[in-house]
Amino acid sequence: MNTKILALFLLLALSHAFAADHLWVLKQSTLTYHVSHPLHQTDGVSHAARGKGVCHEGQCDFLIAVPVKTFDSGDSNRDLHMIQVTRGAEFPMVTVRTRLPEAASTSTTVKADLEVQFAGQTAHYAQVAFELVKQGNETRISGTIPATLTDFKIDPPSLLTMPVKNEIPVRIEMTWSPQ
């Protein structure tokens, strides 16, 4: 009899714990990196990011991932070189992790601490500002990660012996919805 009561208690506790979780799913994304060279400017764009968020006990953990090969700069040779320089064959995904207070979803701006894994390296960015816009049950998030090549131990590629600038800011535009 005691095992039945214990089993019932565990079942109720687990069902309560899962019911308390709030899930978010990434519906749409545009990630744009910018590279600056003395002779030209280049943007690479990907719409292939996937992501999920789980909120529990007032905290939300988010994971976003995008394949390196999905970034398109409009020049296939440049894109292949970018995959080589960033070791995209060995490390094919860029991942971003963050934890936010659940109350942040009611704000119009939020500052997030980010952990970004790219090119076999992990970089941390503190207090990156993002704008939040509620549209029905969806939330649009936009902001810029101030990434640099040295954050990921990437040697700056060069054209005509002139290297690109170290700064490679990544513009994020995403639409999330509760699941």
C-alpha dihedral sign at 139, 146, 96, 54: negative
CB 29 within 8 A of CB 51: yes
Token pair of 20 as six digits: 């308390």
The pLDDT of residue 105: 65
Q: How far apart are the first and last CA of the chain?
A: 38
| H/E segment holding residue 99 | strand 93-101
In three state form, how does the secondary structure of 39-81 look? CEEEEEEECCCEEEEEEECCEEEEEEEEEHHHCECCCHHHHHH
In order of their start, the domains of the chain are: 21-178 (2.40.128.110)
The pLDDT of residue 115: 98
Q: What is the pLDDT along the chain (179 residues), one digit of tens a residue?
A: 444 443 434 333 333 344 448 899 999 999 999 999 888 899 999 999 999 999 999 899 999 999 999 999 999 999 999 999 999 999 999 999 999 888 776 779 999 999 999 999 999 999 999 999 999 999 999 999 999 999 999 999 887 888 889 999 999 999 999 98
pTM: 0.84
- The angle formed by the CA atoms of residues 39, 44 and 45, to the nearest 5 degrees, is 155
